[in-house]
Amino acid sequence: MDEPLNRKQSQLQTCIAGLLGMGLMWLAHPPVGFSFLAWIAPLPLLSLVHRNQPLFRRDYVSLWLIGALFWFVALSGIRHAHPMLIPAWIVLAAYLGIYTPLFVGLTRVAWHGWRMPLVVAAPAVWIGLELARGYALSGFNGVMLGHTQANLPWMLQIADLGGTYAVSAVVMFVAAAMAVCLHCRRLSGTELSVVTARRRQVHAILNGSAVLAATLGYGLFRLSEADTVVSPEPMLKVALVQRDVEAVYEYSERRELETARKYFSGSRDAVSADPGVQLVVWPESSYTAAMPWRVLEDDFTVPADAGVTRSEIIAGVRDSQNIFQRRAADIQLGLTAASGRTQPPSLMVGCSVLRYVDGPVQAFSGVVTIDPTGKVPAWYGKRHLVMFGEYIPFANWFPWLYTVTPLQMGVTPGDAPIVADVKGVKVLPSVCFETMVERVTNRHLRQLASEGKPADLVVNVTNDGWFDDSAILEHHRRCSQLVAAAHHTPVLMAANGGPTVSIDSSGRVVGSLPHQDESFLIAAPQQDPRVSFYQRVGDWPARFATLLCIALAISGCRGWRRRKKQLPLPSVESPADPIGDAGSEPPLV
C-alpha cells in the first residue's frame, strides 16, 4: 500500500502526470503530428485515475491550468487574426482547459465509485466530454483525439459507425488497456498476487488487441469495399482556386475588387490547364467585390429612415441582381475563352448576401451558385457563425460593442442547408468552420438525407488566411477528413491561404496545395453510393456517453457532500476531492 501523500506531494505528482500527458497529446496533433503518441498520451492522466487516495482541490486546479496551457498552445494561431482577439484566445483556452480535470475526476467516479472497468469508463467519459465540447458555447470540435489518426485511412473507417467519437473511443480504449497492465504490474506481489496480476494483464492485452484488430480489420474491409463500389468516373471536374490574400477586418472596396481579380486570374489559369473543368470554386468572401448578391422577400418592409419608397427598393434590388449576373456572365465568358470551349463552367463562390425581409436587412456570409448562363439558381447562408469573428455576444442588446471592436457589424445565421444542382450532382455548400465544427455538417448531411435530398459532394469555402500558416489550418483539414469518412461523401475545400484539398469518401487526401501557395487544384470527386450507419443514427451513442458524464458528476458531488457532512473540518493534510471517488473500494483493474 502506497504511503498517503500530503498536499505538496499530491500536487507535484499531478503536475508531472498532467504536463506529461498533455505534452504528449500536443505532440500527437499538428503541427508536430506524431500520431502514434496519441495511444500513450492518456496514460499519465489515467495514472491519476488509478490513484487510491482522493485528489485535492489544488490537484484539479493544476490539471485545469495544464489543460488551459495545452489549448493556449494548440490554438495559438488565433493570435494572427487580430491583436484584439488575444483576450478571446486566452478565455477560450481557459474554458477548454476545464475538460482535463473533468476527464480525470469523472473517470475516477466511474472507476472508484461505480466500479466500472477502466476500459469502459475512460472511453465513455472522454467521448462524452468531446461531444459536450462540440455543443457548449456554440461548439468546438477541433483537436479531438480521433483527429490524431487522420493520416491513417484504415483507422478512419470506423467513423462511419460513430463519427470521430468512434475513433477517439478506440484510441482511448487501447490506452486504458495499457494503463490497466501498468497498474497491475505496480500492484503485483503487494495488493495483488503475481498470478492474479498476470491474469488481469493478459485480459487487458487481449481486450486492447481485439479492439484494435477489429478496428483495423473493419478499416481494411471498408477501404477494399470502396475500391469496388465507388464509381471510377468522376462526378465533376472541379477547379479549387487558392490565393494568399491578407485577411483584414477593415472594409475596403478597392481590396475586394483586387481580391476578385486575383481569383479570376487563378480561375483562368485552371481552365487553361484543364479545359474539362465543369465547376470553379472560390473561397469565402472572395467574390463579393463590393457587389453582394441581393435577395428580396415578398414580405419585406421599408425602414422608416430609408428615405426611399418600396417600389424604389424593388427596382434597386432588381438592378443589382442584373448587374451581378452580367458580371458573372462576363467572368464565365473570360473562362470560356481561356479554356477554348463553348460551354462555360458553373461557379460556386464565397460571396456576401443581403436579404430584404420584414425587418432590418440581413447580411449573410454566403455561397452563391452560378450556372453556365450566369444566373443564380441557389445560394446558401452560413449557419454556424464564429464568435468574435462574425458576431459579438450580446451585441443585439448593446450595438455599441461593434464600435469598440474591429468587427464592424454582425452576420445573420442562415436558415437551412441546401443542395445545389451542378451538372446533376447534388452539392452541399458549407462555409468556413462549418466542417471544423463537425456536428454542423454532420447534421446538414443527415437532414438532407432525411428529406430525400442526399448530397453527393460537400464543398467547403473558407478564408483561413486569418491564421497564416498555423496549425489551425491542419486541424480544419483533419475535421473535414473525418466528416468525409463518417458519411462516405467526398469533401472539397477551397481556402484563401489553405487548406485547399480534395478528400475522397474514405477520408483520404487525394490532392492538396501547399499553404499560402497561389495556385489551383483540379479535383475529380467520385460518387460513393454507401450510406453509413452514422448518418442514420447520428450522435446518439456519444450523447449517451454525455448523459453518463452528467450522472457521474451528480454522483461525485453527492458523495463529496455526504462525506463533508460526516467528516470533521479538514486538517492541513486532509484531501478535499469534490468529484473524486464515491466512497467504495475501487476495482483493482
Q: How far, in Å, CA of 384 to CA of 499, rounded?
A: 19
Cell 426611399 identifies what position?
A: 308
Residues 6+ apart with CB under 8 A from 96: 67, 68, 71, 133, 140
User: What does the block give as the cell for 502?
Assistant: 480534395
Active-site residue flag, 351: no
Are 127 and 545 in contact by the 8 Å Cβ rule? The answer is yes
**Residue 434 DSSP label:** G
DSSP per residue, 83-140: GGGHHHHHHHHHHHTTHHHHHHHHHHIIIIIS---HHHHHHHHHHHHHHHHHHGGG--
**Residue 404 DSSP label:** S
- Does residue 123 have a cis peptide bond before it, meaning omega lies within 30 degrees of 0? no
Q: Exactly one of 181, 256, 262, 382 is catalytic; name it.
A: 382
Q: Exactly one of 256, 284, 390, 438 is catalytic; name it.
A: 284
Q: How far is CA 539 from the centre of its chain?
A: 14
Active-site residue flag, 432: yes
Q: Exactly one of 184, 432, 479, 549 is catalytic; name it.
A: 432
Angle at 6 between CA 5 and CA 9, to 5 degrees: 75
Q: How far, in Å, CA of 444 to CA of 127, rounded?
A: 21
| Short-list 250, 258, 434, 240, CA closest to 347 | 240
DSSP per residue, 262-327: HHHHHHHHHHHH-TT--EEEE-TTSS-TT--EEEE-TT----TT--S-HHHHHHHHHHHHHHHHHH
Residue numbers annotated as active site = 284, 382, 432
